[in-house]
Amino acid sequence: MKNSHNKSLVLLFLVGVCLSISQFIMIRDFVTILYGEEVVIILVTAAFFAGLSIGYFLSLRFSKKFFSTLFLCTVFLHLTFPFSYRILAVEIARSDLSGYWYLLLMFFYALIFSSIFATFLPRLAGQEVPALSPVEKFRKLYSVELAGFAVGFVIVGLSWNRGVDFILPIYWALLAVVVHLALHRKWATLAFALIALIASASLTHWDRRTTALLYENKHSLDDATTLLSINSAYQKVEVMEDGDGERYLYLDGLLNLNASDLEDLNFYIALVPAQLTQPEKALIIGNGTLSSVPKVYPHSQQVQSVELDSGVLLAGQKFFTPKEDLSALDRWSLTVDDGKHFLKTTPHKYDLIVMDIPSPLTIQEAILHTVEFYELARSAMTAQGVIAVQLSGPLQHNNRTPARVVAALSKVFKEVMVLNSEQADRSFAYASNQLPFSLQEVRETTQEHEEDLEIVSPEDVPFYLTKAMPLAVDNLDLVLRRGWERFTNRYFDDD
């Protein structure tokens, strides 16, 4: 009996490890499939927890025999990760089915990912162990499950900046032991281990192929090739190439940039303000591809880049800005840190801050577009310092993202100039307490690049903002509203 109790402890420990890893795999992969706005992240996380609830609810309602059969079927489905759900998502996209099918897919997989693990604790806690009271037994069982969860957390940490081909074989190996301890059927363990071994051998190929299929069918990327697919500490980082050789950077399934856009983006956000301000010290926040650095560098005495995500840096140096292009830049330095933290702790004052960060679709990204953040930036700027921000869309007279970001800038800085670039398909803002350049100088600098560029002078900017509420830490409703709008338009808009 004691031996059986010890086996239960080992089993629950491994279940804890697997639960931790499966939570990571499911949330990252489904967020990427459905595109990573905060609304989607919450939805997928909620689906995972709903799966746990269903597991707890059903755990004692099945006979041992039925439970064993169900567990066996489910656990073998884990060997189809991540291909099966990606292929199904591809088929939903190909067949142009309603968005409800994606939700159905997500909730179905939540059952496979999490419900099955949730059934173990209640079942094992219900087994008789004569020497222990029910509470003592539970205490031990739950402790080992929590310890396993913590170990899984460490394994997930080891998988940063690697593909699923690192973590899935570990996960399958642990699952093979779980199968053995839970079912005591040698043939099942052997079959599971054998399939896992075969699947592991071709994992990299299938991971890249199914990723490419997703981008071809869900993102309409022609002849997509996966150049990179890794999980960073913060998001899934993917670099895709289409049939024309154009490269795209996706973060959690959201297009961050493509190589052509990058030229326009860097021109307006980095080159123009650097050329006009000739900064002694320039700071670039974000810009994981580091592609802004060579634009700012010739005009600055010192350039500092700050990027939080080393996974994006890896993608950038491998596919967008080769290391060789940067190795000769001896007045440039790179710090891996959160922009907020860097600004709060830097002793330096900057003449130019380039904010090259994604649109405010998650809470963390939105915080970097708020009044509070711009106040922080201002505190690290010289009197005539300029902050350049990309506005994720054209500035219009409404309460949408570009207007709200400009409203936040206007609350902090005395002068805000906006450039509406049709070519870049978005606006850019230059803000300062005293802009060191005029509208005419901006016009002269940009004329050759884009003749019809519309420039909104600091005097005219307020007319665009009468309906706009400045983004602030206490007012991030945009993340919810915009995220929900994008999500429903993408999956539930029939037009």
Partner 1 sequence: MIKFPSYAFITGLYFSTLQFCFLILLQINISSAYLTYMIITGSWLAGSLVGLWMRSLNRHLGVGLGLFCFYGVYALVTHLPFSGYTLAFSALGAGLAGLWAGQFFIFLLSQYKEVDRLFFHENNGFLLGIIIFFVGFTMLGREFVFWAPMALAGLLLLNHTWIKEHSKPGQ
Closest CB to partner 1 among residues 232, 432:
232
CB 244, min distance to partner 1, A: 36
What does the block give as tokens for 283?
């700071």
Closest CB to partner 1 among residues 372, 441:
372
Distance CA 443, CA 451 (A): 9
For the chain, first and last CA: distance in Å? 64
CB-based contacts of 49, cutoff 8 Å, min separation 6: 114
CB 472, min distance to partner 1, A: 7
CB 262, min distance to partner 1, A: 24
Closest CB to partner 1 among residues 159, 420:
159
Closest CB to partner 1 among residues 361, 419:
361
What does the block give as tokens for 344?
């709060």
CB-based contacts of 131, cutoff 8 Å, min separation 6: 1, 2
Among 35, 30, 67, smallest CA distance to 50 is for 30
Closest CB to partner 1 among residues 80, 475:
475
CB 168, min distance to partner 1, A: 21
CB 424, min distance to partner 1, A: 27
Given a contact cutoff of 8 angstroms between Cβ atoms, the answer to whether 322 and 345 are in contact is no
CB 409, min distance to partner 1, A: 19
Closest CB to partner 1 among residues 31, 456:
31
Given a contact cutoff of 8 angstroms between Cβ atoms, the answer to whether 116 and 74 are in contact is yes
Pairing of strands 381-390, 350-356: parallel
Cα dihedral: 227, 231, 234, 240 (round 10): 20
Closest CB to partner 1 among residues 131, 135:
135
Among 420, 344, 428, 423, smallest CA distance to 380 is for 344
Given a contact cutoff of 8 angstroms between Cβ atoms, the answer to whether 417 and 435 are in contact is yes
CB 57, min distance to partner 1, A: 5
CB 361, min distance to partner 1, A: 12
CB 214, min distance to partner 1, A: 26
- In the complex, the residues that contact partner 1 under the rule CB under 8 A are 38, 42, 45-46, 49-50, 52-53, 56-57, 59-60, 118, 121-122, 125-126, 134-135, 138-139, 142-143, 146-147, 149-150, 153, 157, 233-234, 308, 337-338, 340-341, 344-345, 363-364, 367, 472-480
Burial 361-384 (b: 16+ CB within 10 A, else e): bbebbbbbbbbbbbebbbebbbee
CB 232, min distance to partner 1, A: 9
Closest CB to partner 1 among residues 139, 331:
139
Closest CB to partner 1 among residues 147, 326:
147
Closest CB to partner 1 among residues 245, 347:
347
Distance CA 119, CA 101 (A): 26
CB atoms within 10 A of CB 399: 15
Distance CA 276, CA 210 (A): 46
Closest CB to partner 1 among residues 416, 479:
479
Residue 25, phi then psi, degrees to nearest 5: -65, -45
Dmax over Cα atoms in the chain, in whole Å? 87
Closest CB to partner 1 among residues 326, 480:
480
CB 161, min distance to partner 1, A: 12
CB 211, min distance to partner 1, A: 23
Distance CA 8, CA 19 (A): 16
CB 294, min distance to partner 1, A: 27
Distance CA 447, CA 373 (A): 32
Closest CB to partner 1 among residues 66, 220:
66
